[in-house]
Amino acid sequence: MDRNGNCRKCGCREFETGEVRTTGGFWSKIFDIQNRHFISVSCYDCGYTE
């Protein structure tokens, strides 16, 4: 998304948001603790994701 809220690839103004959780270091992988949280923003038209 650029500063105006448009897709950087196609210029569309409609987006979907998602959530991704991942593990961090060695111990969190062993105990399956997903302690890292990210938000994704995907363009509705072309699918470009940040």
Residue with structure tokens 């690839």?
Answer: 9
Per the structure, the complete domain to which residue 43 belongs is given by 1-50
Q: pLDDT band for 32, please (50, 70, 90 cuts).
A: low
Residues in the chain, how many?
A: 50
Supply the pTM of this predicted model.
0.65
**What is the number of structural domains in the chain?**
1
- Among 41, 39, 46, which residue's Cα sits nearest to residue 21? 39
Confidence (pLDDT) at 27: 65
Q: pLDDT band for 46, please (50, 70, 90 cuts).
A: very high
Helix (H) or strand (E) holding 8: none
Compute CA 12 distance to the chain's CA centroid, rounded to the nearest angstrom: 17
| Cα–Cα dist 5/22, whole Å | 27
